Structure 1
């Protein structure tokens, strides 16, 4: 694939991938659709034809709302590192809501990322009005009001460690 291709991945189940393909067809202007690919990918896997041919291919990896399953954090980070280009400016952009709780997200940034030879370059919280505040592993002694926490997202820029 030529540079400039955007690849959208999700769990490799045909109904999920078909829905994404339908959304691409409806929302991406026809002349640009040839620059968008949809691929199934199981986090942590690196051996499929897609995975081997696209190793270290992407200068930007966007992970949106992928952190709600803590038991998959390590596999997710492995996939991120596998697909992330080795170029010094390659970055992972990660965004997640707190709807499942802050405690499920924090270990990804604070434990898994460094264990997988990645490094958080910047991390902060933002609400729908664009207000920012510092990232916090815990708020209000762990009793953060669910209505309040749903108003905020965590955004992080991640790179290869030592980069």
Structure 2
């Protein structure tokens, strides 16, 4: 069993979210692991609030995607930015599932283990292209120290050991005026 798989959704249910959808790539072993983690780590009275679904980013012709368009007021994307070639698909899924309520938000957290250069384009290019905007963004380490977000540090020569100590945290919302 993978520890932490589905953790964000499990924690959301523990703190009282009315409805939680935990999604991941639609491969049976992944979804089975998430389901087992939900069953193991949630009290039975909270499990009814949680559903586990397979979702391939930017694929909306599934029953889950069709039934849940613009349904969620909070979306958590944790460690999803390490594949730059998937940034657009991920962001389109965020827009698809994010409620149109003006208070709806997407929360993104990502480590720099694959490099800052792979993460930065998501916020700098992809987010505005799909009609989202960064409301807040910063970096934090495991001790809770915060620093401003930077698309590049040390002229692009950021020490690998040092960068792995930091994560980027961002809060996204729909743009006031949608992208063209």
Q: Match of 1:83?
A: 97
Unaligned 5+ runs, structure 1 = none
Q: CA deviation at 1:46?
A: 1.2
Unaligned 5+ runs, structure 2 = 1-16
1:56-135 equivalences under 5 Å are 56-135=70-149
What is the number of equivalent residue pairs in this alignment? 161
Q: CA deviation at 1:29?
A: 1.0
Moved over 2 A (4+): none
- 2:37 pairs with 1:23: yes
Cα deviation, 1:77-135, whole Å, max 9, x if unaligned, reads 00000000000100000000000000000000000000000000000000001110000
What's the secondary structure of 2:161's corresponding residue?
helix
Q: CA deviation at 1:41?
A: 0.1
Q: CA deviation at 1:4?
A: 1.5
When normalised by structure 1's length, the TM-score is: 0.97
Q: CA deviation at 1:30?
A: 1.1
Q: Match of 1:6?
A: 20
Q: Match of 2:61?
A: 47
What's the secondary structure of 1:62's corresponding residue?
strand
When normalised by structure 2's length, the TM-score is: 0.88
